[in-house]
Amino acid sequence: MERKFIEYDFGRVDSERMRLNVGPQHPSTHGVLRLEIELEGEIVTDVIPHIGYLHRCFEKYCEQMQYPQVIPYIDRLDYIASMNNEWPFVMGVEKMMNIQVPERVEYIRVIFAELNRIANHQIAVATFGMDAGAFTPFLYLFRDREMILNLFEHTSGARLLYNYFWVGGLAHDVPPNFKDTALNIIKTVRATNEEVMRLLMGNKIFVERTVKVGILPADVAINFACSGPVLRGSGVEWDLRKAQPYSIYDRFDFNVCVGSNEIGVIGDSWNRNIVRMNEMEQSCRIIEQAIAQMPNEGDVREKFPKKVRPPKGEIYCSAENPKGELGFYLVADGGNKPFRLKSRPTSFVNLAVLPEICKGYMVADLILILGSIDIVLGEVDR
Amino acid sequence: MGNFVFDLIGKNIVAALVICIIPLVFILPYALIAILGELKIGAWMQDRVGPMRTGWKGVLQPVAEVVKLLQKEDITPTIANKPLFNLAPFIVFIGAFAAFAVLPFSEKFIPSGINLGLFFVFAVGSFAVIGIVMGGWASNNKYSLLGAMRSVAQIISYELPAGMVFLSIATIAGTLDMQTIILNQSGPIWNWYIFGGPQGGAIKFLFIPFFVILFIVYLISSLAETNRTPFDIPEGESEIVAGYHTEYSGMKFAMFFMAEYANMYVVSAIIVILFLGGWSSPFGTSFMDGPIWGIFWMVGKAFFFVFVQIWLRWTLPRLRVDQLMYLGWKVLLPLSIACFMAIAFLAMIN
């Protein structure tokens, strides 16, 4: 049967437009985002995102911090994927200081970054489902995320803000049963993902709700500098891990997932989320390969420089975060503090596209589109 | 039942009050059980344990919640329209409560055995929307207003298919009296209207699909009437905060809450009465049948459909407003009208 979609054509009705504040205290704005929306009946005619409720002067603060002290602050940007956040900064400083981290450290970093990517995508899909009213997949996904967080806690001592990637290595070695735990997590994640595919992504109501909603064309996505699943959902095959492989990503065999016309149309909310679901599977593949290749012995702490003093110069270093490209532009003056640290926050850039794609949809769709962009206010406001 | 109380106490105001109170005595424990069921079934489906602290395995949780709601401050927004704001929860609850007046529990136990029972339930069922609009508008909150607007659209579009279902069954049963409808279905299980009703002849087997479609149509419409997932659009938690009851707190919120649960039982009971033989035993008249077993069958079957509603709530996402309209007007209504035609034809040839 051919799929049918309803066009919102209610003809011309002259009515007063209503201005509505969505947030900062609202169940579905994923934090303290305030959206000022203009409604005609239920149809959104204008959206103005107001940000800054969580602003904490991250960039200026970093100028007062020694390099190792900056890392915990970077954790607090995208607090759902802290491992990934630390990576570009650490990598940048290492490049400036010409430090070659040991092989084993690279593998552990890859494994933790990919585990954190899985955890982030689980939250993204779970909260997106909850925006649509499906509560049960949310808890299934959180149950699995708990396993990942437990491993992180066992390793770094923290569940959310790890401070684990240090300049020149890692804060601690991994626990002894690390490989088994990671493989066990992958097994569970795959089983749950299969269930979620049937329960949520394949659900008729959910498909009707998300398909053809919030279509983001590829050219608009590129013009707004979107990245991550938002860009790939629009069909653009751009993943920093493939496009400019950093660390040891060129050693692994994995695919870049892009949106397709299979169920939805390219660039709609459903595609942005199916990209996330597929990326979890790709992350599982990377972890499997990394665990198989990883050297068992080796120090992770020895190579630490006593004092982190990058030479005078500047560098832009970016990495593929779960939400997209997170980059840091670092200017060093030879001292032990950054002269300037500019971040390229993923969520902030991706959020900018929201007013562009949600005009003409209903309030319920607006919430779904916001959910499909997957923002974290800690990173938007910095 | 009415006669029994009148015989016992005499035909006076006290007897009338007793008859009024009996359904209320049923609603309160039922609501507690349904809330506990919601919590525990939800927990079971989501791989949790649910509330465990209050009483044995948390069975007293609903009591604790009611006590909490009673203790809460009763806030009325300063810019609200106070009389309407205060009246709304009661109207919503009355709509649900009044339906209990004509719901039979057993062969000998019906609070008021009027012969227009089905019509009465249908009439008071649409009462709730007045309260919802009243509450949503009087709250002076934009989210509440959106919720109220959605609610009106939803209930009006789903009452029509539900009305067609009522009409079909009334046509085939030849009555609007619930007890007679149930009596028609007593006997073996294939006398139930979902299996084509008691009228004889092999011809009825041709019409069974129409009855099953009507059953499904009413099941869907009933979800919309009780504002349950996937039709909880007026409350749409993730979009419009809490819809029409955003501004309500304390006991007034509890009234909305209780009305929802009471409504869940009402629509479940209607499904059971119209299609599944009401209080009649599925094993025929000889086994586990009678006035007392009747209560067991009636409440048991209705509870099964309450369970189905809870089950759907924890499984399905929510529809969008226009999709809900599409389903109501373009799918359910034509289907129910077609089925009504077919069943009217069956009633004619019988």
Mean pLDDT for the stretch of residues A209-231: 88
What DSSP character marks residue A39?
A: E
Q: What are phi and psi of A166, to 5 degrees?
A: -110, 165
In a domain, A1, yes or no: no
Q: What is the dihedral of CA A125, A126, A128, A132, to 10 degrees?
A: 130
A29-40 pLDDT tens trace? 777 888 888 887
B150-183 pLDDT tens trace? 888 888 888 889 888 888 888 888 888 888 888 8
* Domain CATH code at residue A263: 1.10.645.10
User: Who among A26, A203, A209 is closest to B320 (CB)?
Assistant: A209
B198-226 pLDDT tens trace? 776 777 777 788 888 888 999 988 888 88
- Return contacts of B74-83, CB within 8 angstroms, 24+ apart: B74/B249, B74/B250, B74/B251, B74/B252, B75/B247, B75/B249, B75/B250, B77/B139, B77/B140, B77/B141, B77/B247, B79/B140, B80/B138, B80/B139, B80/B140, B80/B247, B81/B137, B81/B138, B81/B140, B82/B138
Give residue ranges of B with CB < 8 Å to any A CB. 42, 45-48, 142-143, 146, 149-150, 229-230, 232-233, 236-241, 314-323, 326
- Tell me chain A's radius of gyration from C-alpha atoms: 21
User: Who among A132, A140, A363 is closest to B318 (CB)?
Assistant: A132
The alpha carbon of residue A100 and the mean position of all alpha carbons in its chain are separated, in whole angstroms, by 27
User: Who among B45, B236, B326 is closest to A364 (CB)?
Assistant: B236
CB contact under 8 A, A136 and B46: yes
CB contact under 8 A, A133 and B146: no
> What local confidence, expressed as pLDDT, does residue A12 receive?
58
> What local confidence, expressed as pLDDT, does residue A1 receive?
41
What is the Cβ-side half-sphere exposure of residue B50, based on CA atoms within 13 angstroms?
Answer: 21
> What local confidence, expressed as pLDDT, does residue A118 receive?
92
Mean pLDDT for the stretch of residues A86-108: 86
pLDDT of residue A153 exceeding 80, the answer is yes
A260-293 pLDDT tens trace? 888 878 888 888 888 999 999 999 999 999 888 8
The DSSP result for B296-337, as a single string, is HHHHHHHHHHHHHHHHHHTT--PPPHHHHHIIIIIIIHHHHH
> What local confidence, expressed as pLDDT, does residue A58 receive?
87
Q: Report the amino acid identity of residue A166.
A: W
B299-338 pLDDT tens trace? 888 889 999 988 888 888 888 888 888 888 888 899 999 9
> What local confidence, expressed as pLDDT, does residue B182 receive?
84
Distance between CA A322 and CA A280 in Å, rounded?
Answer: 10
In a domain, A309, yes or no: yes
A108 touches A300 (CB < 8 A): yes
Q: At what angle do helices B13-45 and B250-275 cross, to 10 degrees?
A: 90
A108 touches A174 (CB < 8 A): yes
Mutation choice for A interface testing from B316, B323, B324, B329 by most A CBs within 10 A: B316
A208 touches A316 (CB < 8 A): no
**Percent of residues, chain A, with pLDDT higher than 70:** 95
β-bridge mates for residue A332, sequence order: A313, A338
> What local confidence, expressed as pLDDT, does residue B94 receive?
85
Distance between CA A21 and CA B141 in Å, rounded?
Answer: 11
In a domain, A3, yes or no: no
Mean pLDDT for the stretch of residues B117-122: 86
Cβ contacts (< 8 Å) between A20 and chain B: which residues? Answer: 142-143
Closest residue of chain B to A28, computed from CA coordinates: B238
Distance between CA A206 and CA B318 in Å, rounded?
Answer: 8
Distance between CA B81 and CA B148 in Å, rounded?
Answer: 15
- Categorize the per-residue pLDDT at A13 as very low, low, confident or very high, splitting at 50, 70 and 90: low
pLDDT of residue B242 exceeding 70, the answer is yes
CB contact under 8 A, A199 and B315: yes
CB contact under 8 A, A208 and B314: no
Cβ contacts (< 8 Å) between B232 and chain A: which residues? Answer: 133
CB contact under 8 A, A364 and B326: no
β-bridge mates for residue A318, sequence order: A327
Cα dihedral A215, A221, A226, A229 sign: positive
3-state secondary structure A59-124: HHHHCCCCHHHHHHHHHCCCCCCHHHHHHHHHHHHHHHHCCCCCHHHHHHHHHHHHHHHHHHHHHH
Closest residue of chain B to A10, computed from CA coordinates: B322
CB contact under 8 A, A135 and B232: no
User: Who among B45, B143, B241 is closest to A136 (CB)?
Assistant: B45
Cβ contacts (< 8 Å) between A36 and chain B: which residues? Answer: none
Two tokens at B67?
């006590």
State how far residue B157 is from chain A, nearest Cα, in angstroms: 17
In a domain, A5, yes or no: no
> What local confidence, expressed as pLDDT, does residue A19 receive?
84
Burial track B23-34 (b if 16+ CB lie within 10 A, e otherwise): beebbeebbbeb
Instruction: State the first-to-last Cα distance of chain B, in angstroms, to the nearest integer.
Output: 33
In a domain, A177, yes or no: yes
State how far residue B50 is from chain A, nearest Cα, in angstroms: 12
B165 touches B181 (CB < 8 A): no
Length of chain A: 382
Distance between CA A226 and CA A240 in Å, rounded?
Answer: 13
Question: How many domains are there within chain A?
Answer: 1
Mutation choice for B interface testing from A363, A367, A372 by most B CBs within 10 A: A363
Which residue bears the tokens 């198989």? A292
State how far residue B317 is from chain A, nearest Cα, in angstroms: 4
B125-139 pLDDT tens trace? 878 888 888 888 888
pLDDT of residue B2 exceeding 60, the answer is no
CB contact under 8 A, B238 and A136: no
CB contact under 8 A, B316 and A133: yes
CB contact under 8 A, A20 and B322: no
Q: Domain range spanning residue A32?
A: 18-381
A114-145 pLDDT tens trace? 999 999 999 999 988 888 888 888 888 998 89
Two tokens at A275?
């990209």
Q: Report the amino acid identity of residue B301.
A: K
Distance between CA A103 and CA B161 in Å, rounded?
Answer: 68
Mutation choice for B interface testing from A135, A211, A362 by most B CBs within 10 A: A135
A227 touches A351 (CB < 8 A): no
Give residue ranges of A with CB < 8 Å to any B CB. 6, 8, 18, 20, 26-28, 42, 129-136, 139-140, 143, 199-200, 203, 205-206, 208-209, 362-365, 367
More confident residue, B4 or A367: A367
Rama region for B80: left / alpha / beta (φ>0; ψ in -120 to 50; rest)? beta
What CA–CA distances, in Å, run from B330 to A214, B161, B322?
Answer: 25, 11, 11
CB contact under 8 A, B238 and A133: yes
- Categorize the per-residue pLDDT at A69 as very low, low, confident or very high, splitting at 50, 70 and 90: confident
In a domain, A85, yes or no: yes
> What local confidence, expressed as pLDDT, does residue A3 receive?
47
**Percent of residues, chain B, with pLDDT higher than 90:** 1
CB contact under 8 A, A133 and B237: yes
User: Who among A6, A26, A143 is closest to B47 (CB)?
Assistant: A143
* A-B Cβ pairs (cutoff 8 Å, strict): 82
CB contact under 8 A, B318 and A365: no
In a domain, A6, yes or no: no
A155-214 pLDDT tens trace? 888 888 888 888 888 888 888 888 888 889 999 999 998 888 888 888 888 888 888 888
> What local confidence, expressed as pLDDT, does residue B14 receive?
76
Distance between CA A105 and CA A294 in Å, rounded?
Answer: 9
Nearest to A165 by CA among A75, A246, A60, A235: A75
In a domain, A13, yes or no: no
Which residues, 6 or more positions from A97, have their beta carbon under 8 angstroms from its beta carbon? A167, A305, A308, A309, A310, A311
